[in-house]
């Protein structure tokens, strides 16, 4: 009897410990979600609600126009066209986003990261240099660069949450498709996030953090504000 009880207890414990229901929380789909103690409030964790399935149509799962470039991002030398839940409602809860990017010659997609998604890129036209940084576990003052020169048909991947970049090293526009395994990948441009925050980080903090003087910090603010 004791042995039967021990085996039963062990089996139940193993099931609970390995059950995905108890093992982890789902990844967040937004940057912040402040708790609100209001029973009358509507809560949109995904930012979207679902329509009655009986009202869904094929158009909810369709997008056209990825064959042409999108809207230019001022000052950064590239244009973007995004296929996400906002223009293809059927993507809601599926965890997929697709972006077309056109990068001008000799311009860089700035150092940035996506907190909620791995990014896989395919280059369609042009030549580019792509890379991402992995922290060195033996020395947190250093990182390891993984980089490749990409030509049409090449595919490269940026792991979730890691800082990466994309540089058009050619003399004509380069075109890419970006695939994200998230409905809302997030987009954090490192220099703009630091030097153009609102309210701003104090010059003293930035000067100490980057080991620069305040004149140099002021110049960086001008470039990224």
- Calpha distance 85→94 (Å, rounded): 9
Instruction: Give pLDDT, residue 75.
Output: 85
Q: 177-199 pLDDT, tens per residue?
A: 999 999 999 999 999 999 999 99
Q: 109-151 pLDDT, tens per residue?
A: 999 999 999 999 999 999 999 999 999 999 989 999 999 999 9
State pTM to two decimals: 0.81
In the CATH scheme, what is the homologous superfamily, with its name and number, of domain 55-210? Answer: Jelly Rolls (2.60.120.10)
Q: Is 144 annotated as a binding residue?
A: no
Long-range contacts of 147-156 (CB under 8 A, 24+ apart): 150/121, 150/123, 151/123, 151/127, 152/123, 152/124, 152/125, 152/126, 153/122, 153/123, 154/122, 154/123, 155/120, 155/121, 155/122, 156/120, 156/121, 156/130
The residues spanned by each domain of the chain are: 55-210
pLDDT band at 83 (very low <50, low <70, confident <90, very high): very high
pLDDT band at 69 (very low <50, low <70, confident <90, very high): very high
Q: Is 72 annotated as a binding residue?
A: no
Instruction: Give pLDDT, residue 60.
Output: 94
Instruction: Give pLDDT, residue 65.
Output: 96
Instruction: Give pLDDT, residue 52.
Output: 85
Q: Is 119 annotated as a binding residue?
A: yes
Q: Is 219 annotated as a binding residue?
A: no
């Amino acid at each position: 009897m004791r042995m039967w009880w021990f085996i039963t207890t062990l089996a139940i414990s193993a099931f609970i410990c390995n059950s995905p229901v108890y093992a982890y929380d789902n990844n967040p789909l937004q940057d912040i979600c402040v708790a609100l103690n209001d029973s009358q409030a509507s809560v949109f964790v995904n930012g979207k609600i679902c329509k009655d399935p009986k009202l869904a149509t094929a158009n909810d799962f369709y997008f056209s126009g990825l064959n042409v470039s999108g809207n230019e991002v001022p000052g950064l030398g590239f244009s973007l066209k995004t296929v996400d839940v906002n223009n293809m409602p059927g993507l809601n809860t599926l965890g997929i986003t697709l972006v077309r990017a056109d990068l001008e010659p000799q311009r860089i997609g700035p150092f940035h990261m996506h907190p909620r998604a791995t990014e896989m890129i395919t280059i369609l036209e042009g030549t580019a240099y792509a890379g991402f940084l992995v922290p060195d576990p033996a020395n947190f003052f250093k990182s390891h660069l993984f980089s490749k020169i990409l030509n049409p048909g090449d595919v490269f991947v940026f792991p979730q949450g890691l800082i990466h970049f994309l540089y058009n090293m050619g003399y004509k526009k380069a075109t890419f498709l970006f695939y994200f395994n998230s409905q809302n990948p997030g987009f954090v441009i490192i220099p703009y996030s630091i030097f153009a925050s609102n309210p701003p980080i104090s010059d003293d903090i930035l000067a100490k953090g980057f080991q620069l003087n305040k004149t140099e910090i002021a110049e960086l603010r001008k470039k990224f504000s």
